[in-house]
Amino acid sequence: MSKLVSFPTSLPSNPIPNDTNAAEVVASFVSRLVNLESQDFKNDAVWRDTFALTGTSRTFYTSSTITAAWHETTKRSQAGSFIVDDKRTRTIRSPFGPNWIQARFSFETDAVPQTICTGLITLVLTADSEWRIWTLRTILEQLKGQPNVDVLASVNGTAKLTNGQIEECLFDCIVIGGGQAGLSQGGRLKALGISYVVLDKYQEVGDNWKLRYGSARCKFTTFEEVSALALLTPCCDSTHLSRIL
Ligand SMILES: Cc1cc2nc3c(=O)[nH]c(=O)nc-3n(C[C@H](O)[C@H](O)[C@H](O)COP(=O)(O)OP(=O)(O)OC[C@H]3O[C@@H](n4cnc5c(N)ncnc54)[C@H](O)[C@@H]3O)c2cc1C
């Protein structure tokens, strides 16, 4: 038998009535997110946190485990100000598959470090016609009082390189690997004003892929496109690349 069958998750199949007011359903949950109880979750619910409440990347399974971890972490981090992003509430209906309501929300934490976070909640109708949380996703977006990591000022063209050698040798942070994750990390460190260097075992950006597959080609023609990997907004020039690597 497939191992998948033993995983503590399942797809919701109960249909959602056409007259359902998704915004009302979502509001009833988000308004009491701090005080969630075990029965608010589907038995096989999943909560995935990315640095927002646990300080790391963690996934919790089942209603009882999630409730205990949720209470502990929201209390410890003093999470609050949960606000739904009404424009992004959706009802997902499929004639043959899962049905659910999904919504985005934001929240803040007041313990040190104070943060701004976002979340994604999905709600399903159970067989007893009760709404339950199916999945919960929480993500750290910003440290309060620190620069916006999604906005990077253009470099001023004074890259500290001489004949390809970087002049500085002391950095607050060293990122190992200049792939997608490493470049993203570099962009965010720069936005925070933290000095850093990205080291890669290969000579050039993308060599990890270009040298592995003879037919591999880089789709990016400008550094603006490459920088979009890191920050989603093209806002740095090609000088930045030479500063990264
Ligand atoms: C066959 C294939 C095709 C794919 N096609 C696509 C696609 O078309 N579109 C898409 O969006 N995604 C695609 N992906 C997924 C995408 O490539 C990965 O999600 C992405 O590259 C992961 O980024 P990363 O930074 O985590 O790892 P990587 O891109 O692997 O980067 C890791 C970097 O670390 C460096 N490194 C490793 N060890 C060391 C060390 N000891 N010291 C210094 N440097 C080191 C490597 O050289 C590399 O540059 C594909 C993946 C595969 C396997």
187 and 131 inside one domain: no
In a domain, 22, yes or no: yes
Q: What is the pLDDT of residues 123-157, one digit of tens each?
A: 999 888 899 999 999 999 999 999 888 777 665 55
Amino acid at 156: N
212 and 93 inside one domain: no
Predicted pLDDT at 238:
38
126 and 209 inside one domain: no
31 and 137 inside one domain: yes
In a domain, 149, yes or no: no
Taking only Cα atoms into account, the Rg of the chain, rounded to an integer number of angstroms, comes to 22
132 and 177 inside one domain: no
Q: Which residue's structure tokens are 């490493």?
A: 182
Instruction: Report which of 7, 8, 63 is spatially closest to residue 36, judged by C-alpha positions.
Output: 63
- What mean pLDDT do residues 69-89 have? 95
Tell me the C-alpha distance between 71 and 40, whole Å.
13
217 and 180 inside one domain: yes
In a domain, 16, yes or no: yes
Is pLDDT at 62 greater than 90 in this prediction? yes
Is pLDDT at 21 greater than 50 in this prediction? yes
In a domain, 154, yes or no: no
Last residue of a domain, one of 143, 173, 192: 143
79 and 108 inside one domain: yes
Q: Hey, whose CA ends up nearest to atom 30 of ligand 1?
A: 179
The runs of H, that is alpha helices, within the chain are 22-30, 63-77, 180-191, 207-210, 223-231, 238-244
Instruction: Report which of 14, 47, 27, 236 is spatially closest to residue 124, judged by C-alpha positions.
Output: 14
Three-state secondary structure call for residue 141: strand
178 and 119 inside one domain: no
134 and 14 inside one domain: yes
Last residue of a domain, one of 143, 177, 212: 143
Tally of domains in the chain: 2
Tell me the C-alpha distance between 239 and 244, whole Å.
9
Label the pairing between strands 57-61 and 161-162: unpaired
Cα(216) to ligand 1 centroid in Å equals 13
204 and 132 inside one domain: no
- Residue 72's domain is classified under what CATH number? 3.10.450.50
> Best of 175, 183, 199, 200 to mutate for ligand 1, by most ligand atoms within 8 A of CB?
200
Q: What is the pLDDT of residues 176-232, one digit of tens each?
A: 999 889 988 888 888 888 888 889 999 888 888 888 887 777 666 554 455 555 444
- Pair 135, 108: CB distance under 8 Å: no
Residue 190 belongs to domain spanning: 161-244
Q: Could you tell me which residues come within 8 angstroms of residue 230 by beta carbon, excluding any fewer than 6 positions away?
A: 152, 183, 184, 186, 187, 188
In a domain, 58, yes or no: yes
Shortest-distance atom of ligand 1 to CA 208: 47
67 and 133 inside one domain: yes
105 and 165 inside one domain: no
In a domain, 155, yes or no: no
Q: Which residues line ligand 1 (CB under 6 A)?
A: 176-182, 199-202, 208
Cα(85) to ligand 1 centroid in Å equals 33
Cα(77) to ligand 1 centroid in Å equals 33
Last residue of a domain, one of 96, 111, 143: 143
Q: Would you give the distance in Å from CA 118 to the centre of its chain? A: 8
Is pLDDT at 173 greater than 60 in this prediction? yes
